[in-house]
Amino acid sequence: MQLTEQQGFNEALIKLSVLLYQVDGKVSLSEQDYLDHVIDELDWGSTISKSAFLTDAIFRAREAVDNDDCQGFIRKLSDDLNQNANKTLEVAMTLTGIDGERSEREVELLAFLTNRVLAKSLMAQVEEFDSATPIS
């Protein structure tokens, strides 16, 4: 079955979110609640249920954390995450900060996400905004 662009983004966002809440080695109730909220808001268009997909995403993210391959994991999601770079960054920033502190690994992955994965999309939006803003 061919994924739509939106479904590809949805799945990548879930995978990223799971990785980000696992990377610091502790999962808080606020992180879990926020992830549940993000997942509930997604327009799910897959034959795989959200809960089955989430279970698999948890397993794969845990593997990436255990193998210290978090950047590689994120890199594989790059094309799909760039479909909505603003939403990706919003979710990543909220999820890593919702428990009141960001671990060193969370900060490292946020920097990688913004500077290496989402940079082109985010810069294109800034340039688009700048060209649409009249100069006084």
Average pLDDT for consecutive 10-residue bins of the chain (136 residues)?
86 97 90 95 94 97 97 96 94 93 94 90 62 59
Q: Is the pTM of this model over 0.85?
A: yes
User: Residue type for 89, please?
Assistant: L
H helices of the chain, where? Answer: 5-22, 29-41, 50-66, 70-81, 85-97, 104-112, 119-132
User: What are the residue boundaries of the structural domains of the chain, listed by start?
Assistant: 5-132
Q: What is the per-residue pLDDT for 56?
A: 98
pLDDT at 27 (0 to 100): 86
Could you tell me which residues come within 8 angstroms of residue 2 by beta carbon, excluding any fewer than 6 positions away?
Answer: none
Residue 21 is encoded by which pair of tokens?
């809440």
Q: Does domain 5-132 fall into CATH 1.10.3680? A: yes
Surface-to-core class of residue 130, CB atoms within 10 Å of its CB (0-12 exposed, 13-18 middle, 19+ buried): exposed
Dihedral sign of CA atoms 86, 53, 39, 110 in order: negative
